[in-house]
């Protein structure tokens, strides 16, 4: 028989083989599969999709999970079972090896929802595996027994060998798929449903039952921080960004206390070590102190910024990862792509339907009990049992009882069947002799009350379902609060946080830059992902990647690391426009550009050359002296040019004419001051970061010497130089521009002396964090103010037997003088207060500050006001304010091409 099949297949394949184009020359053929091969593959693909990888939308289980839960129910006696025993029992239903069943069971157990575990079940934080199945035990949790099982409303099917019955779907009355999440890879498709918060799912189900809108977002057992901005309801194309929780323990130590979903402490540490080896970050060592909670200590070398390192960890390691959800489930034996909102709606509607089925079964059971209890009472109370004494046949007995019942059954809700009469004949004489009519009636009344209650629930099914979900939340919601913090992430630019792990050199005369030119002039430290901006004496500019050796052009005059969107770095240049042309001066920024494209900063005439060039990080404008060549027509051989009088424009502008005469040289007469206003800085509370993009609360205008004051709930004060890479802890209560001469006022509870103290102090060491309350464990900061003259309000407890004491106000300026930060302060009150509040501060007249120069600022660009004089008349050409895109498009200089 097998030989016949092989011959048949060979003939079929030969018929399907066709030569490719040009096949006669090459001998190549294409084989089209059909028949048995095609059917087998489709069967296999369908089996993997339906029976292994993808969960059903009805109960949220994959087949192996459903069979494990069924086996656990069959073995359930309230005691723990060896997992090996459960695995063996499951194999009666699951036609695969014990390893896959054991792994699936550990996965369910680690979610801590359906299975009550005992023993070493592994650690989702460290990635440690569970012990062997013969060493660990399990039983069903109370929650699983409550919401997963009800044999009366379960549809059954034969197991794979026909010896057992297994559930088609379990009657799960809870959005279990969303609570546990699911992940699987099948043939041609995959699924990735992220886990959601238990309490939030119940609240959303209740909102759906009330026909209200709701939103649900994932929640991970590993906690961490997540940005769900692009979650897309869990559909294909969405993305979730997750981060570890990193904080600064001290100036040389970072601590990681939560890991992102999908990562373990081991994978996190490996990624950090790899980034260190590649030079992206620089660390001294890593300590893993994880036990019940995550604690990874990252020790930094001295001189390395902790804030910048935190950003670098997010940029270059697994401390930040992206997850792409994909909501795929099985419905009616077909894959269905659906969002989490629709999943929850369907689950809630199915729960409501299952509750209806349960109630109808209960009502039928109560009605049957009421029916039989009523028949029993009629049978005994009316002594119908005596009518069968003379009957000699079974048929006669049945007819006699039926005849005796007929006058008394008009109030029954359904006809009397032969089965009912048979049950009456089974009543024992002893029970008849002890029959109590009153108790029988009480039982009937109780059944009628239960029937009425169930009927009421069926008529108000939505309210009943809401009460059901509310009970679940009350009974099982404790300890299941959200673990993952929801936050909008700021985008970290890798070039700003990468460690400068290599050195850049330049050969100015020959026109080469690179990291391998170690015999030439050293320029700066850089990283291998930096862009480098280069200017040549001919007035050419180019931005290129860091390389080992790159040719730019001869006579390089400036090389630096390029900062994208940098509006503060200002380039000043004086150049001659071609052979015999006029001399121009211009000031410009380079905020964006096309990489590896050469830009001409002159007008492009042959023979153009730069006389003077500077790159100033804060818009400094120098005072220059221009010397002219001595010719008969020139009377004044020296000119002064103040760059502060020149407008900052785009790099493509021609500039202002300095002179039309021949220039001998240009020299620096006087270094200039910044022509930029102090930088305005905002704090965006949503992402807990500083910015200069007008997002959040304006903190003020900052000069180079200005600092930020930070005070947290633990009584720690510090000042920092404002930096957009700075990180802030969630316990921060004060963040503002620091005024060194303005005192800080604090009221705190001293844990050792057990009384309130008040103090006023100044920051004595700006570069060092200091604690200004006592170091006792029970000491606690109550109030802190940075106002000049704050007033505190004391609210007292009512003493027994006495009238309520009126609130007292205290002017802190009069209460205590400004003292050292380490001073204890003055005793404010010796007992516990009901409340402490700040009242409106007393008026204070601040000294008049010297106003900043009247400059108009657009973003970080600086433009002198209209009243500012200009010494030279600016000329322009048609190309003045344009720059070319990579595709040769003409763009306004304000909308330059973005660097990619």
pLDDT in tens, 577-598: 998 899 999 999 998 889 999 9
Would the pTM count as exceeding 0.85? no
Strand ranges inside 175-284, DSSP E: 182-185, 190-193, 225-230, 239-243, 245-250, 253-258
Check: CB of residue 748 under 8 Å from CB of residue 709. no
Q: How far apart, in whole angstroms, are the C-alpha atoms of residue 111 and residue 17?
A: 52
Helix or strand run (H / E) with residue 402: helix 394-405
Cβ neighbors of 369 (< 8 A, separation 6 or more) are 447
pLDDT at site 28: 64
Q: How far apart, in whole angstroms, are the C-alpha atoms of residue 568 and residue 724?
A: 15
> Which token pair is 739?
């005024």
Check: CB of residue 756 under 8 Å from CB of residue 730. no
φ, ψ (nearest 5 deg) of residue 551: -90, 130
pLDDT at site 722: 87
Q: What is the mean pLDDT of each run of 10 residues along the chain (900 residues)?
A: 39 40 52 67 76 88 93 94 95 89 94 94 93 94 94 91 92 95 88 95 96 94 94 93 92 92 94 91 92 92 84 93 93 90 95 95 92 86 80 85 83 85 84 81 90 94 95 94 91 77 91 93 88 94 93 93 86 92 93 90 90 88 90 84 89 91 90 76 83 85 86 92 82 92 94 93 89 92 93 91 89 93 92 92 74 43 35 35 34 30
pLDDT at site 850: 52
Nearest to 577 by CA among 542, 602, 548: 602
Q: In a 3-state reduction of DSSP, which class is residue 107? A: helix
pLDDT at site 418: 85
> Which residue among 44, 47, 80, 135 is the active-site one?
135
Q: How far apart, in whole angstroms, are the C-alpha atoms of residue 402 and residue 723?
A: 95
Check: CB of residue 686 under 8 Å from CB of residue 630. no
Q: How far apart, in whole angstroms, are the C-alpha atoms of residue 180 and residue 386?
A: 63
Helix or strand run (H / E) with residue 105: helix 98-110
**What digits encode the pLDDT tens for the residues 560-578?**
999 888 888 899 999 999 9
Give 761's strand partners.
Answer: 744, 819
Cβ neighbors of 524 (< 8 A, separation 6 or more) are 500, 503, 504, 559, 560, 561
Cβ neighbors of 684 (< 8 A, separation 6 or more) are 490, 690, 691, 695, 696
Check: CB of residue 196 under 8 Å from CB of residue 178. yes
Q: How far apart, in whole angstroms, are the C-alpha atoms of residue 597 and residue 534?
A: 11
pLDDT at site 27: 53
**Radius of gyration of the CA atoms of the chain, in A:** 41
C-alpha torsion angle, residues 730, 734, 737, 742 (rounded to 10): -160
CA distance readout (Å), 57 to 156, 169, 175, 338, 588: 17, 10, 9, 10, 61
Check: CB of residue 739 under 8 Å from CB of residue 757. no
How does DSSP assign 610-648, residue by residue? Answer: EEEEEEETT-B--EEEEEEP--TT----EEEEEGGGSPE
φ, ψ (nearest 5 deg) of residue 572: -110, 135
pLDDT at site 849: 56
pLDDT at site 580: 85
pLDDT at site 729: 82
Burial of 190 (0-12, 13-18, 19+ CB in 10 A): middle
Q: How far apart, in whole angstroms, are the C-alpha atoms of residue 259 and residue 243?
A: 7
The residue written with tokens 């379960």 in the block is: 154
Pairing of strands 656-659, 679-684: unpaired
**Catalytic: 135?**
yes
Check: CB of residue 899 under 8 Å from CB of residue 543. yes
pLDDT at site 563: 86
């Amino acid at each position: 028989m097998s030989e016949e099949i092989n011959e048949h297949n060979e003939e079929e394949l030969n018929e399907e083989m066709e030569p490719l184009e040009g096949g006669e020359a090459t001998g190549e053929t294409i084989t089209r599969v059909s028949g048995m091969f095609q059917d087998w593959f489709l069967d296999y693909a369908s089996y993997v999709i339906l029976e292994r990888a993808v969960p059903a939308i009805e109960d949220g289980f994959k087949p192996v999970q459903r069979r494990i839960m069924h086996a656990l129910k069959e073995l359930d006696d309230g005691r723990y079972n060896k997992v090996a025993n459960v695995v063996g029992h499951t194999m009666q239903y699951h036609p695969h090896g014990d390893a896959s069943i054991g792994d699936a069971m550990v996965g369910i157990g680690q979610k801590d929802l359906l299975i009550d575990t005992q023993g070493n079940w592994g650690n989702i934080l460290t990635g440690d595996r569970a012990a062997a199945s013969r060493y660990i035990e399990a039983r069903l949790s109370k929650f699983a027994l409550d919401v997963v099982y009800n044999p009366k409303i379960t549809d059954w099917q034969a197991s794979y060998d026909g010896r057992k019955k297994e559930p088609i779907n379990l009657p799960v009355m809870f959005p279990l798929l969303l609570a546990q999440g699911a992940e699987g890879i099948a043939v041609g498709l995959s699924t990735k449903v992220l886990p959601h918060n238990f309490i939030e799912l119940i609240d959303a189900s209740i909102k759906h039952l009330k026909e209200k809108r709701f939103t649900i977002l994932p929640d991970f057992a590993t906690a961490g921080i997540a940005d769900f901005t692009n979650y897309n309801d869990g559909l294909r194309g969405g993305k979730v960004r997750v981060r570890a929780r990193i904080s600064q323990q001290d100036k040389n130590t970072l601590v990681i206390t939560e890991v992102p979903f999908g990562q373990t402490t081991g994978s996190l540490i490996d990624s950090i070590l790899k980034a260190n080896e590649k030079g992206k970050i620089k660390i001294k060592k890593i300590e893993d102190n994880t036990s019940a909670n995550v604690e990874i200590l990252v020790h930094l070398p001295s001189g390395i910024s902790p804030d910048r390192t935190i950003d670098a960890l997010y940029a270059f390691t697994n401390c930040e990862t992206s997850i792409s959800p994909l909501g795929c489930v099985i419905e009616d034996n077909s894959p269905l792509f659906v969002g989490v909102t629709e999943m929850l709606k369907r689950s809630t509607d199915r729960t409501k339907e299952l509750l209806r089925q349960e109630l109808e079964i209960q009502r039928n059971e109560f009605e049957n009990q009421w029916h039989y209890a009523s028949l029993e009472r009629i049978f005994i109370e009316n002594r119908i049992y005596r009518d069968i004494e003379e009957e000699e046949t079974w048929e006669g007995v049945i007819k006699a009882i039926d005849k005796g019942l007929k006058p008394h059954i008009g109030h029954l809700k359904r006809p009397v069947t032969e089965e009912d009469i048979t049950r009456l004949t089974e009543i024992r004489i002893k029970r008849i002799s002890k029959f109590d009519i009153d108790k029988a009636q009480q039982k009937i009344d109780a059944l009628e009350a239960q029937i009425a209650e169930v009927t009421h629930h069926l008529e108000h099914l939505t309210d009943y379902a809401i009460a059901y979900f509310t009970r679940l939340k009350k009974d099982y919601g404790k300890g299941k609060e959200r673990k993952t913090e929801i936050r909008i992430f700021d985008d970290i630019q890798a070039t700003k946080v990468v460690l400068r792990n290599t050195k850049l050199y330049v050969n100015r005369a020959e026109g080469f830059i690179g990291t391998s030119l170690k015999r030439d002039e050293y320029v700066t430290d850089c990283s291998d992902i930096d862009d480098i901006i280069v200017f040549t004496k001919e007035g050419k500019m180019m931005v290129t990647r860091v390389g080992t050796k790159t040719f730019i052009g001869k006579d390089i005059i400036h090389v630096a690391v390029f900062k994208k969107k940098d509006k503060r770095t200002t380039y000043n240049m004086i150049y001659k426009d071609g052979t015999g042309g006029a001399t121009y001066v211009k000031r410009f920024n380079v905020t964006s550009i096309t990489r590896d494209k050469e830009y001409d900063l002159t007008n492009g005439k042959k023979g153009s050359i730069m006389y003077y060039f500077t790159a100033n990080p804060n818009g400094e404008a120098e005072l220059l002296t221009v010397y002219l060549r001595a010719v008969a027509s020139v009377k004044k051989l020296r000119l002064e040019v103040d760059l502060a009088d020149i407008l900052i424009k785009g790099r493509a502008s021609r500039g202002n004419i300095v002179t039309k005469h021949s220039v001998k040289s240009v020299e620096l007469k006087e270094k200039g001051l910044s022509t930029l206003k102090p930088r305005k800085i905002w704090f965006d509370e949503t992402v807990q970061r500083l910015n200069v993009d007008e997002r959040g609360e304006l903190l003020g205008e900052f000069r180079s010497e200005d600092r930020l004051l930070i005070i947290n709930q633990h009584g720690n004060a510090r000042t920092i130089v404002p930096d957009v890479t700075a990180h802030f802890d969630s316990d921060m209560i004060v963040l503002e521009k620091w005024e060194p001469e303005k005192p800080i006022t604090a009221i705190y509870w001293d844990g050792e002396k057990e009384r309130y103290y008040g103090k006023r102090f100044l920051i004595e060491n700006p570069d060092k964090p200091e604690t200004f309350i006592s170091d006792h464990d029970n000491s606690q900061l109550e109030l802190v103010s940075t106002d000049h003259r704050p007033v505190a309000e004391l609210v007292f407890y009512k003493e027994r037997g006495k009238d309520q004491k009126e609130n007292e106000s205290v002017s802190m300026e009069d209460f205590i003088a400004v003292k050292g930060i380490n001073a204890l302060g003055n005793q404010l009150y010796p007992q516990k207060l009901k409340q402490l509040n700040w009242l409106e501060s007393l008026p204070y007249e601040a000294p008049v500050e010297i106003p900043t120069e009247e400059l108009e600022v657009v973003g970080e660009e600086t433009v002198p006001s209209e009243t500012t004089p200009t010494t030279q008349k600016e000329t322009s050409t048609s190309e003045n304010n344009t720059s070319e895109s990579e595709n040769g498009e003409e763009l306004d200089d304000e909308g330059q091409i973005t660097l990619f």
